[in-house]
Amino acid sequence: MKAPSDLIFFLGDKEPSIQGASNSLQLLIAQSTALQNIEAIRARCQDPLLQPLLVSADQLAIESDSQREYLKALAAEFLVIILLGPDQSHRVAEYFRLGVADVAFPHSSDKELAAILERVDSLADSRDQKRLYRRELEKTNQNLQESLHLLKQDQMAGLEVQKSLMPESPLKFGDYEISHSITPSLYLSGDFVGYNFVLGRYLLFYFADVSGHGSSSAFVTVLLRFMIGRVIRKHQVQKDYAALAQAPEGLVESINSQLLATGLGKHLTIVAGSLDTETRKLRYVIGAQQPAPILISDGQARFLPGKGKPAGIFEGATWVVEEVALPESFALVLLSDGVFDLLSDKEIVDKEKTLLKYLRTSSESLDKLKDALFIGDIEDPQDDISVLLLTRGM
């Protein structure tokens, strides 16, 4: 705190009454700088939070609401010490409630004045610390806002990259139509789908859900797109019908080893499949994906069999390829586990039953399927919600 000679004494419109003041108080007042009005004080005061302002209670009445509000504002700006008269001791609490730093009486002794200045000094230190903390907080908030702005820009750019890697939807080939929808919980999604018709006969598709959320999970979806795309291009260029007839054999094993090699600590659940459009033979692998693929035909819905570990956790893991003959007219639905959040049932078994009930009559198109699951009504989902629909003759 400033030395007593640096105290500011606010005179006001008339000379303050200091009759009966002790020698110590008289000396304190004499050493103070006297200024006529608050504007002059602001002009002279180097730091209002640290330089005390000594004010006579006679010059600063608190009889009305406006007067009390004025003192409250003044006390918030300055370290106000009120000089009370001998008959004003009953107003001490009221002045403190209005925020003054301290009060002094004309008969205050040297020891009492020293204690007052010590308390004011402590309050000045406290205000200075709060001001420093506020500045640091404002700077931190500014840096945080700038970082969030950059992150949002990065995520929006990442979203455009993800969109560019998504397949055309819907995609038609003869009597078959495949389409998808992804509703991300953040800008970027950890869900990813891919599908394309190869060599005029095989429909290859995959449906993956990467662990976690945000940029790191989205990066794995991009990596997954290139890993699988490289395998498909190789079969196309070599016209390897034999390998396509056995697809997706070995695919998840390859993804598993490459994910482990990245060291990202990410894993994914996946359904990868291959449909021979001439024989309607579907071969697929399930890697811990829930819910399981749903087949709808003749008004009935059922989960396809199969299970397996997630990819990216266990070295040397293998996955069993399931095989099923599809009917002439069918819908095959793949859903990410985010869809469970849309169902009111508590147990997973009950949620799965509800899914079958909803989808058995609402899977002719992607729009009807989304309406049945209320996906279109969700603005901020807790988890990514993804759908892939493959139909024939529906």
**pLDDT tens by residue, 165-198:** 899 999 999 999 999 999 888 777 889 999 999 9
| pLDDT tens digits along 150-161 | 878 877 777 788
Domain ranges of the chain: 4-134, 166-392
The pLDDT assigned to 140 comes to: 92
Q: Are strands 79-83 and 52-56 parallel, antiparallel or unpaired?
A: parallel
Average pLDDT over residues 87-101: 89
- What are 309-349's pLDDT values in tens digits? 999 999 999 999 999 999 999 999 999 999 999 999 999 99
Predicted TM-score of the model (pTM) = 0.69
Question: What does the pLDDT read at residue 8?
Answer: 60
CA distances to 125, 130, 308, 328 from 116, rounded to whole Å, are 14, 21, 76, 94
Per-residue pLDDT of 122-158, as tens digits, reads: 888 888 888 889 999 999 999 999 988 887 887 777 7
- Judged against a pLDDT cut of 90, whether residue 46 lies above it is answered with no
Q: Match 């009930």 to its residue by tokens.
A: 357
Pick the most confident of 50-59, 138-147, 208-217, 284-293. Answer: 284-293
| Share above pLDDT 90 across residues of the chain, in percent, rounded to a whole number | 54
Give bridge partners of residue 173 from the DSSP assignment. 176
150: alpha, beta or left? (left if phi > 0; alpha if psi -120 to 50): alpha
Which CATH superfamily includes the segment(s) 166-392? Answer: PPM-type phosphatase domain (3.60.40.10)
Q: Is the pLDDT at 1 greater than 50, yes or no?
A: no
Structure tokens at 58: 């006679």
Q: Which long-range contacts (CB under 8 A, 24 or more apart) does 39-45 make?
A: 41/8, 41/10, 41/78, 44/8, 45/8, 45/78
Work out the percent of the chain whose per-residue pLDDT is above 70: 93
Q: How many CB atoms lie within 10 A of CB 338?
A: 24
Per CATH, which fold does 4-134 belong to?
Answer: Rossmann fold (3.40.50)
Per-residue pLDDT of 192-218, as tens digits, reads 999 999 999 999 999 999 987 777 888
